[in-house]
Amino acid sequence: MEFQFILVEPNYAANIALISLNRPKELNALNLQLMLELKQALAELDGQDEVRCIVITGNEQAFAAGADIKQMESKNPIDLLKIDQFETWDQIRKTKKPIIAAVSGFCLGGGCELAMTCDMIIASETAKFGQPEIKIGIMPGAGGTQRLTRAVGKALAMEMVLTGKFISGEEAQKAGLVNKVVPVEVYLDEAVKLAKEIAQLSPIAVRLAKESVLKAFDSGLQEGLFFERKNFYMCFASEDQKEGMSAFVEKRKPDFKGK
Ligand code: DAK
C-alpha cells in the first residue's frame, strides 16, 4: 500500500500492522487526503486475516496537531457538507480490528479525536493532549466533546474544550484518557508489544469483545448486557473457543486460527 501522507507497514509474521501519519513538517496536520488514505488503509487491513491488531502513530514531535487549519480556513458550511468528512471518520470508527494509538508530542484537536477513536492509547511522557479548537473560533467536530467527556469526565473535559488547555501524558493517564505513559524512547515499542499480545488471541473473540465494549457508549445497561450476551454465545460457534479451552485443560499454549 503506497500513500502520500501515511506509511503502512504490515508485519504479517506478528499479525499486526503499523500506520504512521507522515506530514512531519506540518506536525501531521490531518488534511483531507491524509484522512482518505487512512480510511483506505484501515479498510484494507481490516479485510486481511493475517492482520489482527493495528497501531497508528505519528512521530516523536507530533501524533497530529489537528485538522489542517490552512485547508479549512476558507470553507463555508456548504463546502463542508459537500466534502462530508464525517463519512471518512465514521468509516475509520467502524474498523473491526482493535486499533492502538501510539502518541508522542502534540495530540490536538482532530489528532486527539483520532486517538480517542482508537481503542487504546499508549502515550510518551512528552505527549500533549488538547482540544484547542476554541482558540481558533470553532469547537471540536469529530467527537471531541463526547469522547473526551466520557473518558475524563465533565470537569476536565469542559476545561479543556472551553479553554483549549493541554494536558500531559501523565495527567491524561490519571484522568483515564490513556492506558499507559512510558518514556519517549519506548512508546512505540510498548504499543507494538500490546498489539502483538492482542494479535495472539482469538481474533473472533477480540472482535466481538471490542464491539461489546463500544456498545457501552451508545446503549443503556439492559440493551448493552443483551448485546454482550449474544456476542458471548457467538464465541461458542468458533473453533477458537474449543482451542482456547482445550489448551487450558491440556496445559498448553493455544493456537488461535480465527475460525
Ligand atoms: N493545521 C495546519 N498546519 C499546522 C497545524 C494545523 N492544525 N498545526 C501546525 N501546523 C503547521 C504550522 O503552520 C507550521 O507550518 P509552517 O508555518 O512552518 O509552514 C508547522 O506546522 C509547525 O508548527 P508551528 O511553527 O506552529 O510549531 P510550534 O511548535 O510553534 O507550535 C503547535 C506547535 C501545535 C502548538 C501549533 O502549531 C498549533 O497551535 N497548531 C494548531 C493546533 C490546533 O489548533 N489544532 C486544532 C485544529 S482544528 C471534522 C474533523 C476534525 C476536525 C474538525 C471537523 N469533521 C469530521 C468535519 C478537527 C478540527 C481541528 O483539529
Instruction: List pLDDT tens digits, range 1-48.
Output: 889 999 999 999 999 999 999 999 999 999 999 999 999 999 999 999
Q: What is the CATH number of domain 6-199?
A: 3.90.226.10
DSSP characters for 112-168? HHHHHHSSEEEEETT-EEE-GGGGGT----SSHHHHHHHHH-HHHHHHHHHH---EE
Cβ of 37 below 6 Å from ligand 1: no
- Cα of 46 vs centre of ligand 1, distance in Å, is 29
- Judge whether 188 and 204 are in contact, CB under 8 Å: no
Q: In the predicted model, is pLDDT for residue 58 greater than 90?
A: yes
Digit-coded pLDDT (tens) for 106-153: 999 999 999 999 999 999 999 999 999 999 999 999 999 999 999 999
DSSP 8-state symbol, 184: G
**Domain span(s) for CATH 1.10.12.10 in the chain:** 203-250
- Cα of 135 vs centre of ligand 1, distance in Å, is 11
Cβ of 69 below 6 Å from ligand 1: yes
Sheet holding 62-64, edge to edge: 62-64, 106-108, 128-130, 167-168
**Amino acid of residue 102:** A
- Class for domain 203-250, per CATH? mainly alpha
What lies within 8 Å, CB to CB, of 115 at 6+ separation is 63, 101, 103, 107, 121, 129
Residue 75 phi, psi dihedral angles, 5° rounding: -80, 145
Is the pTM higher than 0.95? The answer reads yes
Sign of CA dihedral 104, 178, 235, 240: positive
Catalytic: which of 101, 102, 111, 113?
A: 113
Cβ of 85 below 6 Å from ligand 1: yes
DSSP 8-state symbol, 67: B
